[in-house]
Every structure is written in C-alpha cells, then in structure tokens.
Amino acid sequence: MSMLQNPILRGFNPDPNIVRVNDDYYIATSTFEWFGGVQIHHSTDLVNWRIIGQALNSIEQLDMRGVPDSCGVWAPQLSYTNGRFYLVYTNVKSFDGPWKDTPNYFVSTDDITGKWSQATYLNSSGFDPSIFHDDDGKSYLLNMLVDHRSNAFFGGIVMQELCLETNKLVGDVKLIFAGTELGCTEGPHILKRDDYYYLITAEGGTGYEHCISVARSKNVFGPYDVHPHNPVITAVNEPSNPLQKCGHGDFFQTQNGDWYTVFLTSRPLSERGRCITGRETGIEQIIWNDDGWPTAKHANKAPRLQVPVEGLTLNPQPQPSRHIDFSKNELTVDFQSLRIPMCKSWVYKNAQKSSLTLVGKESLSSLHQQSFIARRVQAHHTISTTHVDFMPTSFQQMAGLACYYNTAHYYYLHICGGDVGDETSPRYLNIISCDKYQTSTPIAPLKLNTDGPIYLKADFNGAQLQFYYAIEENCWIKFGPTLDGSILSDDYVQQSPQGYRPCFTGAFVGMACQDLSGQNKEAHFSFFNYDEPSGE
C-alpha cells in the first residue's frame, strides 16, 4: 500500500477533472488568463504526477487578448471515447454585472502528448462545460446556465446531445437539474454506474463553504434525486482541517476497482486565512453504500493529507528542473505567459548573450501584451532568484523579478532608468507595490553604481515577502521592507472595493520586462532558480 500526499497537484491547479485510459491517469486543470491553456497532468500510480503540457497553445484555439483577470479558461473537462480524447472548456470574456460572456469550445486528439485540433465552438449559455459519453454511443454536453434576469445568476444545469461525427449540437436543450439549497451549483459531470446516472456538481461557492454534491437518475435527462447526505466532500464544518475550500470534483475508478475523487482544495496560511498557493488539486477515497449512494471512505467528509492507495505500482515521474541556466536550457513547462503565447517577437533564447531575452512590452497591469514569464508559487515558503542584464535609457523601461497575483495586485523588484533623453542618466533599483490598482514605492530608488548585471531575489515565506539584490553572486543585500505577500491571494483580492470580482488563480513569480516608450528595450536573464526551503 502506498500513501498519496495531498494536495497531489500543488499551487494554482484548480477545477480538476480526471480520466483513466487503461493504466494511465490524466487530470485537466484550469489556467484562467495564463497561456497556454489547460494544464494536462499524467500519472500511472496516483502518487507521482507530472505536467505533460498545456493543450491550448495557439490564438486560434484560445484568444484571451483583453480578457479580465480570472477570466479566460474555466473548468476544462477531459474525456475519452473510441480512441480519442476530447477537451471542452469555457473562454470567459467578461464577468461584470449580470452579463456573463461565456463561449464554450472543444478540441480533440488521438495523442494526448501531441497536437490538439482547432477549436470547435459549441454554445455560450453558461460555463463549466463537460461531455458525457453514454454506453449507447451517444454523447451529451452539460453546462451551468447563466440567468441574468433579476441578477439570478444560476439558471440550472442544462444538457444537449452532441454529435461527434459532425461536431454539432443536436436536439433540444433540456434543463436537468435545478441545484440544491447549498446554492452556487456549477461544474457538472455525469458518471454512469449500474442502472444510475450520477450527476456530480460543485456547490456552496468557491470559498470555505465549497463542496461536492451528488444527485442521480435512471434517465440521463432526469429527473435527478438529490443525495440524502449531501455534500459528499467538504471542509465547511472543519475549520482546522489543513485542506480547505474542498469541492468541484470528479469521481473515477482504478483498474483494481477502487473509487476515488479528485477535487479543488486550498491550504490557508492560518485557520480560514489567506491562501497564497491558490486553489490546488486533492484526492480522497470514495465508497458506494448498499443503497447505491457514494460517500467518503473515512468518517469525516473533510479530506485527509494522506490517503492510501493499493494495487498500483509506484512509478516516479521526471520533474522539470527548478534551476534553469539559460545558456544551456530552455524554459520548463512550469512557466507560462499572460493571455498571449510565447513567441520569438518578445521572448527568445539569445545565444550571443547566453540568456533568455525578454523584449519590453506593456505594463504589468495590461490585459493585452505583457512581457512576463512566470511559474506558480507551490509552497508556503519559496525563494526565487534571477540574474538580469538590463541597460535602460528611460524611467519607462523596467526589468526584473515580479511576484504577481493579477493586474491589480503584485510586487515588482526591478531596474529602471532615469530621465528620458539623458544617455548619461544612472540606473536605479526600485520596488513597485500594486494593491487594488494603487501603486506605491515602499523604499526610495537605489542608484546603481555599476553597469553590470544584477542578482535579484524574492524570499516569500508565508505572508512575508522580502526582496534582496546583489552585485556579486551570493552577496545578498536586503532591499526594502518586509511586504505583505498574502495580498497575492484569492481571499484578499475578492475584497475589492468594486464589489465581487472573479478571483480564482494564485501567486506566481517570474521575469518581466516593460518598455512603456514602445522602443522594445531588451532584458537578458542568465538563469532562474526556484527553491522550497520547507520541503513541502
């Protein structure tokens, strides 16, 4: 017997959905505004996982230019039938007011590690789409229905037949489920077991009342009877449980006949506190009672940190290096860009400079063209370092190390220039703090008395974020005050003075370059290191 360690996918990896093909398990997770879209994770033992890529890697598959924060790719669902994988997803365009613009698409492939098809548009009636393949050969599209009337928001779970031969929706749209008293019903998946169709949904909202609910019917279109002991998984009554916000799940069976659920979860820094690692993926055992209803195998509905798994041979997966020397190595799959794909017009390996070169683009508050490459913060204590060669000629040109949640919340340790048009103007080291769109500089800019490259470091320990710099390697000098890193979390950002806004990602750290003058000034990064001293 082996033990699974929760969360199995650490850092921002929410809305998990899982499919088993023979001895291989694949999980798809949301990426929101981060490009490429949809993380695909692989395992053969449920213990060891690795990212095998992002499925949506072109503008034709995923156009997110201009989408607001925490919009973009929501709740993708991966399915498999007749030798082909299907991936359905929402590309949310707006979420303000009663109007929700939520076009749904799908792509497919017969090689999950290869190229996916171009996107096929399905509908725009709501979000969190999924495809159910029935054993009679028919397939169906489900999604949550948005009802803007009187700000109702939730209009039920709807379903329509999907013809995989023509890639068209056929027949009538039918309302199959109105949700339960837990509210905020979304993320529908259908599972068929014996004579019943089981409808698995997320309810209770995405915060600390999040949960997994179940209903069932002997007819795929319903009516669906609600589980008498809902919810099946939740931590709502266990505030001290280390895994919180548990919901948005999917059930699956191993090749040995055991049942599990994967689900969204978070690890707060304190009891019901802020979660800098965002919404992650956990796993728990499920059993089926004699009455045919599923329940958590252990007595508590709140998931455990360690979960046993039997009958699967351990198979450690190779992991991307956390230490990247750009004179030798490419960016690893851990790194993503914002809203647009990485292309050589703004990020490329520079053999002459032995570096990764970023071409300065728009500000960190832009929704369109940022020159920013970052990776997830996956532990409560991380140390990230880089080495940047940058010679700005203007205060509008900046490059450095950013700790980022969204366009309104980030900290940026950077090199910048002085007065415009003064070629003799010195360089400066500075910090920009952005909180609810308000920027400030928590320390006076430091004049750099060298033209050489600078080492930069972010020590992100719980809620405390401390920046450092160095002229010589490992000779670190503390720069600026200890900053509140916990603002880089859903929990803080959702307290926006503008009212409720989507807040669904997590903290990232990475390399950035801006040229607000439009002159495309370049910054050259020789390495990027990411460490987790706590060994989480």
What phi and psi values does residue 294 have, to the nearest 5 degrees?
-85, 155
Residue 126's CB is within 10 A of a number of other CB atoms, namely 24
Strand-pairing partners, residue 88, are 77, 106
Active site residue 284: no
Residue 220, sorted as left (phi over 0), alpha (psi -120 to 50) or beta, turns out to be alpha
Q: Is the dihedral of CA 118, 124, 129, 131 positive or negative?
A: negative
Structure tokens at 426: 């010195």
Please tell me whether residue 69 adopts helix, strand or coil conformation: coil
**Tokens 């490259």 sit at which residue?**
453
Structure tokens at 118: 């171009």
**Rounded Cα–Cα distance for residues 421 and 410 (Å):** 29
Active site residue 60: no
Structure tokens at 515: 């040229």
Given 69, 161, 186, 334, the catalytic residue = 186
**Rounded Cα–Cα distance for residues 28 and 30 (Å):** 7
* Nearest residue to 507 (alpha-carbon basis) of 438, 468, 458: 458
CA 304 to chain centre: 22
What phi and psi values does residue 350 have, to the nearest 5 degrees?
-110, 100
Active site residues: 15, 186
